[in-house]
Structure 1
Amino acid sequence: MEGLNAQEQRELQSRMEKKQMKEFMTMYSNMVQHCFDDCINDFTSKTLGSREEGCVMRCIDKRMKGSERIGNRFQEQNAAMAQSGALPGR
């Protein structure tokens, strides 16, 4: 963000925040759709059965842990690249 004036920095920050929110909402929507497709199969009741509820909880837990693990690996890679001087602008 060096070389940008204060207004440009605020605009860039705002755009980055909107992009992150959009990416989060897309990820969340995909997770909900995936877990619904895999776990919900009884449409005769308004509530989830115990089997469906357990499936949904395991599905969401698994996807959240996977996402967290991927995020951690990206951070590790980024830190290693920064340390070795491989990142631009460093």
Structure 2
Amino acid sequence: MDLSSLSSSEQLAMQQIIEQKQMKDFMRLYTGLVERCFSACCNDFTSKALTNKEFLKHSERVGARFSEENARLMSQQK
């Protein structure tokens, strides 16, 4: 997007809007991934505490799914 025709204050405002949209998109993506992973991994509510193994499994799964989704979105933009 070429913002060179806008004044510096307009460019700054547009940049802020773009950054807010990117953050909103990221949070929507991350929330969706966490929900999918939680649904796939959590099936026993007999304890409030996560074991270290459960936490690591969750973190690995969220990271992997986020990478997959990011790659998919990047390929769509090309």
> TM-score when scaled to structure 1?
0.67
Output one character per residue of 1:1-42: Cα deviation in whole Å (capped at 9) or x when no partner.
Answer: 021001110100010010011011111111111111111011
Other-structure match for 1:8: 10
CA distance in 2, matches of 1:64, 1:21: 14
More divergent stretch after superposition (63-72 vs 52-61)? 52-61
Percent of aligned pairs with the same amino acid: 34
CA displacement at 1:47 relative to structure 2 = 1.8
Aligned amino acid, residue 47 of structure 2: S
Runs ≥4 in structure 1, deviation > 6 angstroms? none
Gaps of 5+ in 2: none
Other-structure match for 2:38: 36
Query: Who wins on radius of gyration, i.e. which is larger?
Result: 1
Gaps of 5+ in 1: 78-90
- State the Cα RMSD in Å: 2.3
Other-structure match for 1:61: 63
Aligned amino acid, residue 6 of structure 1: S
Q: Which has the higher contact order (CA 8 A, sep 6+)?
A: 2
CA displacement at 1:70 relative to structure 2 = 2.5
Aligned amino acid, residue 65 of structure 1: S
Counterpart of 2:46 in 1: which secondary structure?
Answer: coil
Counterpart of 1:32 in 2: which secondary structure?
Answer: helix
